[in-house]
Amino acid sequence: MRYISTGQVSLPTSLKEAVLSGIPDDGGLYLPETIPQLDKHFIQSLESLSLQEIALGISAAFLADDIPVTQLQEIVTRSMNFDVKLKKLDDQLSVLETFHGPTMAFKDFGARFMAQLMSFLIRGEDRELTILVATSGDTGSAVASGFLGIPGIRVIILYPEGKVSPSQEKQLTTQGQNITALEVAGNFDDCQRQVKRAFADSELRQVHRLSSANSINFARLLPQSFYYAYIAGKLMSKKGDLVVSVPSGNFGNLTAGLMAKRMGIPLDHFIASTNRNDVFPKFLQSGEFFPRPSDQTLSNAMDVGDPSNLARIRYLFKDDIQAIRTEISSWSFDDEQTREKIAVIFERFNYIIDPHTSVGFLGLNQYLETAKKEVEGVVISTAHPAKFPESVEPIIGESIPVPPQLAQYLEREKQATHMSIDYEDFRQFLTDTLG
């Protein structure tokens, strides 16, 4: 299978080039030349398949031309060594817990699969691969965990100073070994801008082999499609439309769901639930996209004012705004609404959610208020609430037990290098560090 750029200038390329380069020379994002249709028998069997079996089936549809199935099985086994849980709260509402991996966030799916895939693609090579990743929270910790100790790969994580939760910061700054954290005096968009400029710096890339672990890299999206197929399998006997609410910031998670639907997975509608960084809802309303600096919110991993994956969404829909509106609804919610929904879900179901998941519930509720048909609603729960005790505990009036996966990081000492938003400072750091 070949991979094409949404910029439509760079020539189609191989899986290895698409994954290891991360981003095309024309500044677009990679997508498969065609999205394969899954076998009907596979889709009909989803109900009885494990997450790992689903992962192997979908990854083989995309990657089997480049990677032997036995090697794909190893990649899946090493990366998907945790599960998801679908909890039904009432007749119309379910929540998919995607936070049971080592860093307790959905991004463990993409980061761990990508690490194993990249490790396979660079086998036998002497030249080091450097991963540059910008994070607004959970991406950094998941990438740090997923790539820790992978031979031949160095990881440099840029995160916004004072704009990630304490537990997120500890997870991404205390790994050591081949993981380096940069604390940037700006917001997530500043971090992402530094990474994109480095990729566009031809002189730098001639000297150093750079790639990305953000959702700008296609290898991050593919494994996130696995759990959308899992949802469809578990709800095969649904009575109404299957509607999935996705807490959205950089829109990689939503794009993975859209890809799953195009593979043939029976998903009916998506809700892009955003915090007050509302550039996507406004795009759906007006048909025009106006990026802006991001605002800091309780749901910090979604604090994105210029979401990269909008380029993929527009490409998938041939930039037809009416077609996008048919398949995706989107609303934004503020911090007060986020707090209120955390309280309501706890009081009604005795169930604790984090701020990002709260935004997902708000989006689904908004949709249900106007739905004129039967709906089976699912909220993607993207992070364990124990990662945000300073936000959640005052709302529910209880302490949240700290899972072992988080507790192991909290007593470690932070190790991060302060970095300005000046690209030349970042460039000099890369030159000095990478040699």
Show the tokens assigned to 97.
């817990």
- Other CB atoms within 10 A of residue 65 CB: 11
Contact assessment for residue 22 and residue 217, using Cβ atoms and an 8 Å cutoff: yes
Q: Report how far residue 240's alpha carbon sits from residue 262's, in angstroms, rounded to the nearest whole number.
A: 20
CA distances in angstroms from 48 to 52, 53, 232, listed in the order given = 12, 10, 11
Q: Report how far residue 46's alpha carbon sits from residue 51's, in angstroms, rounded to the nearest whole number.
A: 9
User: Considering 107, 238, 261, 341, which one is annotated as catalytic?
Assistant: 107
Q: Report how far residue 300's alpha carbon sits from residue 354's, in angstroms, rounded to the nearest whole number.
A: 11
Contact assessment for residue 300 and residue 159, using Cβ atoms and an 8 Å cutoff: no
Q: Is 85 a catalytic residue?
A: no
Q: Report how far residue 90's alpha carbon sits from residue 95's, in angstroms, rounded to the nearest whole number.
A: 10
Show the tokens assigned to 284.
């759906």
Residue 133, classed as helix, strand or coil, is strand
Q: Report how far residue 223's alpha carbon sits from residue 218's, in angstroms, rounded to the nearest whole number.
A: 10
**405 sits in which H/E element:** helix 404-410
Residue 15, classed as helix, strand or coil, is helix
Tell me which residues are annotated as active site.
Answer: 107
